[in-house]
Structure 1
Amino acid sequence: MIRAETIRERGEGFQAADTITLDETQRHRRRMAMVSDGGIAFLLDLADARLLREGDAIVLDDGRLVRVIAKPEPLYAVRGRNAAHLLSLAWHLGNRHTPAAIMADHLLVRRDPVLREMAVGLGGSVEEVEAPFDPEGGAYGGHHAHGDESRPLTGGSHL
């Protein structure tokens, strides 16, 4: 079986032989048999578990690259009245240990009626959207800079 032990970070310019479309949960892996969108079967066998990001490339042992595509999933777009209010909403969501993607003017979180009720109760607005989910990593080694604030949402309005 073809093996993949290396990931090329997004932004490193490359020509991919194929793609693999995965939601956020499916993209957090260390070792797993996978099949690309075009049918290339391979074993992902990384030294450590990591979150594969939109645009990363899985390097196959035969030299081919498989580009990672983040599959849109059901999320809430949470907005505040202003930047300070959005920061407060982010703090409350973080206090619940909720993974969140931090955008310039909104947060993306997984759909959960309890979170919706909390955000609305705190004066936020919540919209159901379908979008790739690329949450912030943790403070201890998983942090990444988002840098994709204008990324369009799929199946809904552009935020």
Structure 2
Amino acid sequence: MLQASKRIPQGQGLASVLIRRAATVTLDWDLRQKSRFDCTDSQDRHVGVFLPRGTLLRGGDVLLTVEGDLLLVVAAPQSVLRITHCPEHGSPFDLLRAAYHLGNRHVPIELQPDHLKIEPDHVLADMLCQMHLTVAEAYEAFEPEAGAYGEHATMGHSHHSGSHAHHHPHVTAEHHHDPVH
């Protein structure tokens, strides 16, 4: 059995030829948010994954095994609800409203410019339909947001990396709040 104990976010620093040659592990969202699990790779090898607690795997991440093998993580298609605005009765702004309401319920949600995705839930689907949104069942990869306190690196963006300072002028004459980011 192979043992994978290190995650390389999006294969950063690896030559693309190495990533293309790597075996794959196709995992749904449920597994990709666990730090310890077993799976089988594309070469039919048994893999035990032992990552630090709280680690999220994203499609495109690479696992490094103790034996030195690279395993490319593929987000498996799974049942999701795909939410779009209704062109007859609404506007794209309705997606923002939906994201707000889903966020208040702490629902894992994938945000895209023209749609949202959540795991199937008939109560939420009914709520979204009442908001005049179109809700369709789909079978697609699911990559929800990590959240405000999740792993920032999982989405490839960090405000606090290296020596690159990143500041926003938050205080103006008409706009006052704590400028701490």
Normalising by structure 2, we get a TM-score of 0.74
Match of 2:174? none
Q: Which moved more, 1:29-38 or 1:90-99?
A: 29-38
Match of 1:8? 8
Match of 2:134? 125
How far apart are residue 62 of structure 1 and its match? 1.7
**1:31 counterpart = 2:36:** yes
Match of 1:88? 97
Match of 1:22? 27
Structure 2 unmatched ranges of 5 or more? 158-181
Contact 1:136 1:146 (8 Å CA) reproduced:
no
Taking every aligned residue pair, what percent have the same amino acid on both sides?
33
Contact 1:79 1:106 (8 Å CA) reproduced:
yes
Paired residue secondary structure (1:117)? helix
Distance change >3 Å, CA 146–CA 99, structure 1 → 2: farther
Matches within 5 A, 1:1-159: 1-10=1-10, 12=12, 13=16, 14-15=18-19, 16-80=21-85, 81-143=90-152, 144-145=154-155
Paired with 1:124 and 1:34, the residues of 2 have a C-alpha distance of: 37
Paired with 1:131 and 1:74, the residues of 2 have a C-alpha distance of: 7
Report the residue type matching 1:36 in the other structure.
D
RMSD over aligned CA atoms reads: 2.0
Q: Which moved more, 1:24-33 or 1:40-49?
A: 40-49
How far apart are residue 67 of structure 1 and its match? 0.7
Normalising by structure 1, we get a TM-score of 0.83
Paired with 2:61 and 2:155, the residues of 1 have a C-alpha distance of: 15
Q: Which moved more, 1:86-95 or 1:5-14?
A: 5-14
Match of 1:150? none
Q: Which has the higher strand share?
A: 1
Paired with 1:145 and 1:43, the residues of 2 have a C-alpha distance of: 24
Q: Which moved more, 1:38-47 or 1:48-57?
A: 38-47
Q: Which has the higher helix share?
A: 2
Aligned length: 147
Paired with 1:62 and 1:146, the residues of 2 have a C-alpha distance of: 27
Contact 1:8 1:59 (8 Å CA) reproduced:
yes
Structure 1 unmatched ranges of 5 or more? 148-159
